[in-house]
Amino acid sequence: MANIRRTKKEMARDPVLLGVRKRKVPPHEFVLEALAEVEPRTNPMFGCLAVYVGEKIVLILRDRPKYPKDNGVWIATTLEHHKSLRREFPNMRSLGLFGKKVTGWQVLAADASDFEEAALRACELVIARDPRIGKVPGVRRAANLRGKRKSTGARAERDQNSRPSPESFVK
């Protein structure tokens, strides 16, 4: 058996040797393709993929083995819009995962017969900036309450000692 020798450059670029993982394919990737013109950004959230357009979270894409009943496209909306959205999406329902009977998040279930058609229609509404779809995420409480804290202990003392005194600027 021949011994294969690699140069350092070849080894440096080998993803197997570097331990680089391949990026996962997003669930229901066709949704992101349909939204491309509004330049959505994504963020992993709860093992799913949150989709943002501008400052609003509009959808979550989910395909997980636990609780597969709620796999599909989650629509960010409010209770007041459920009735009108249900006219457009007859198979839309509240998530069961949260344990509540009715939630602001509605799901277009991946196992529904009209899933792809409904998901693409939801994308059309997002592109049209339909006010029924999307929520502006709230400010995180911890960041809001914390504000800027004063340093204490050794670090504060070090920072205080490293600052020039006002007198050092006067000549």
pLDDT bin (cut points 50, 70, 90) of residue 143 is very low
Using alpha carbons, select from 91, 97, 102 the residue that is nearest to residue 46: 97
pLDDT tens-digit profile of 57-89? 999 999 999 999 999 999 999 999 999 999 999
pTM of model > 0.75: no
Task: For residue 59, list its beta bridge partners.
Answer: 51, 75
DSSP 3-state assignment of 117? Answer: helix
User: 29-36: which pairs have CB atoms within 8 A and are 24 or more residues apart?
Assistant: 30/116, 30/119, 30/120, 31/59, 31/61, 31/73, 31/119, 31/120, 31/122, 31/123, 32/61, 34/119, 34/120, 34/123, 34/124, 35/123, 35/126, 35/127
pLDDT tens-digit profile of 95-135? 988 888 888 899 999 999 999 999 999 999 999 999 999 99
DSSP 3-state assignment of 87? Answer: helix
Task: Please provide residue 47's backbone torsions phi and psi, each rounded to the nearest 5 degrees.
Answer: 75, 10
The reported pLDDT for the residue numbered 25 is 81
